[in-house]
Amino acid sequence: MTAGEAPPLWRSGSERLLHLLPVLLCWAMAMLPAAVPIVLGLLLIAVLVARFGGSKPMPRRNAAFGPMTVMALFYAWHVVGMLWSKNQAFGRFDLEIKAVLLLFPVVFWLWPSGVKLRTGQVWQHFVLAQVVATAVCLLGSCVHFGHEIHLRSQDLLPADPAYTNHFFESRFALFLHPSYMAMYLCFALSLWFYADGATVRSRVLAWVFPALLVLGVVLCNSKMGWLTLALVMAHALWTKWKDPASRRRLSVLAVAGTLVFGGLFIAFPTVSGKLTQAISATGAIDPSSDQSSALRRMAWDAATDLFAAHPIIGVGTGDIKDALIDIYHTKGYVHAEAERLNAHSQFLQSAAALGLIGLSALLAMVLLPVIAAWRRSDRPALLFWLIILLNWSVESMAEVQAGVVFMAFFAWMIALRAGSRTA
C-alpha cells in the first residue's frame, strides 16, 4: 500500500474498533462482567487485523523491556509452575483466568505504531461507567428497601432492622464483589481528579459525579476501600490545595464523606462491625470464627506456612488451592476450609504457589511502575499502582477476572500512554 492509498476496509474498520473496544471494556467491567471475555477476544482480533490485515503489515510500535514484559514473565512462570502441579485441572483454570497477563502484553507489542489510543476518552468512559453503576446500585437498593418496607407493613415479614443491609456490601454492589467495586470507584475518582478528558463541563455534574463515587465506596463497606478512598482524597487535597476551586470542592467532598461515614458507623452495625471485627482479629486466631477479618488472618497464616515450606518454587500453579485447604483442615480452620478460601493476599498467594521467584516477579510487576510513575510525575498512573499495591495486599485479586482484568487493562493503557509521550 502506497503512502497516498486508502487502507483496506477491513483494516480501517479494525482501527476504529481499536478505539471502541477499550471503551466497551470499561462498561463491561463495570456492569456486564460476563461480556468481558468477548470484548477481550475482539480486541486481540482487531489488533491482529490492523497490524497484518493489508498486503503490507503496519509497523508495530517500539516496545522496550518494561511492565508489559514483566507481566508476561509472571504469567510464563505460572505456566512453568504446572510442571510440579498434581491438580492439572485447577492449574488450567488458573491459567485461563490469568490469560490477560499474556494477552495485554501481546496487544501492546503488536499495537500498530500509527494508531494512537485516545486514552482520555477511555478514561472518561470508565469514570462515567462507574458513576452509572453506582447510581443503578443505589436505585436498586432503594427499590428493594421500599419493597421490604411494604411487605413488613402488610405483616408479611417479621420485624427486623436488617432490611437496611440493602444499602451495604453485596446487596448494594449488584455487578461486582463490593471490594472490587470499591477499588474501581477509587480509581475512577483518581481519574476524575487528574486525568485529561475525564471531567465534565456542567457545574452540577462536577459535584454529583465525585459525590456518587465517594458514596459508592462508603456503601461497599470494604475496609480497604475506605483506606484507599482516604489515600486518594488526601493525595488530591495535597496536590491541588493551591487551586481555590479544587480546594473548595475537595474539602466539601472530604467533609461530607467523613460525615456520611461517621453517621453510618454510629447508626448501623453493618458498618461499625467491619472495624470491630478487624480490631478483634489482631489478637489470637480463633479457628472457629466466621468473621471476614478473622478468616483473612487464617488464610494469611496458612499461606505463610506454605511459603516457608516451599520457599523457592512454591507448591505449584495447580496445587495452591488444595495445599491451603489441607492446612485449614490440619489447623482446624473450619470455615476457611468450608469456603475453600484463597490466601486473601495476592503477594502471599503468589509466594505460596510459585515461591520466591513468583513473588519477585509480582513485586517487580507492581513496584517498577510505581517508581516510573513517580519519576514521570504521572499522577493517574501513580495512584493506579498504589491502589493495586494496597488492594492486592489483602485480596488475591489476580485469581478472579474482576481483579486481574482491571490491573492488566489499565497497566496496558498506561504503558501505551507513556510510550506515546516518549515517542
pLDDT in tens, 359-393: 999 999 999 999 999 998 899 999 999 999 999 99
Q: How much is the pLDDT for 159?
A: 59
| Residues 403 and 420 occupy one common structural domain | yes
Q: Is residue 401 part of a domain?
A: yes
Q: Is residue 271 part of a domain?
A: yes
| Residues 44 and 27 occupy one common structural domain | yes
| Residues 294 and 196 occupy one common structural domain | no
| Residues 148 and 260 occupy one common structural domain | yes
**Cβ contact 298:290 at 8 Å:** no
| Residues 234 and 325 occupy one common structural domain | no
| 169-183 tens-digit pLDDT | 888 999 999 999 999
Q: Is residue 160 part of a domain?
A: yes
| Residues 328 and 402 occupy one common structural domain | yes
User: Domain containing 24: what range?
Assistant: 1-58
CA-CA-CA-CA torsion sign (168, 227, 253, 381): negative
List the one residue out of 385, 328, 404, 327 whose CA is nearest residue 94.
Answer: 404
325 vs 329: CA distance, rounded Å: 6
Q: Is residue 10 part of a domain?
A: yes
> Domain boundary at 240, 256, 280, which?
280
Q: Is residue 117 part of a domain?
A: no
| Residues 137 and 244 occupy one common structural domain | yes
Over 50: is that where the pLDDT of 423 sits? no
* Residue of 194 and 152 predicted with greater confidence: 194
| Highest-scoring range by mean pLDDT, 7-16, 105-114, 266-275, 403-412 | 403-412
Over 80: is that where the pLDDT of 280 sits? no
Over 90: is that where the pLDDT of 292 sits? no
| Residues 414 and 293 occupy one common structural domain | yes
Q: Is residue 317 part of a domain?
A: yes
Tell me the pTM.
0.92
Over 90: is that where the pLDDT of 299 sits? yes
The domain total for the chain is: 3
List the one residue out of 164, 171, 146 whose CA is nearest residue 269.
Answer: 164
pLDDT band at 6 (very low <50, low <70, confident <90, very high): very low
| Residues 79 and 165 occupy one common structural domain | no
| Residues 79 and 16 occupy one common structural domain | no
114 vs 121: CA distance, rounded Å: 18
Over 90: is that where the pLDDT of 271 sits? no
**Cβ contact 349:399 at 8 Å:** yes
pLDDT band at 269 (very low <50, low <70, confident <90, very high): confident
> Domain boundary at 261, 280, 299, which?
280
334 vs 416: CA distance, rounded Å: 46
> Domain boundary at 42, 58, 74, which?
58
| Residues 70 and 148 occupy one common structural domain | no
Q: Is residue 118 part of a domain?
A: no
| Residues 215 and 294 occupy one common structural domain | no
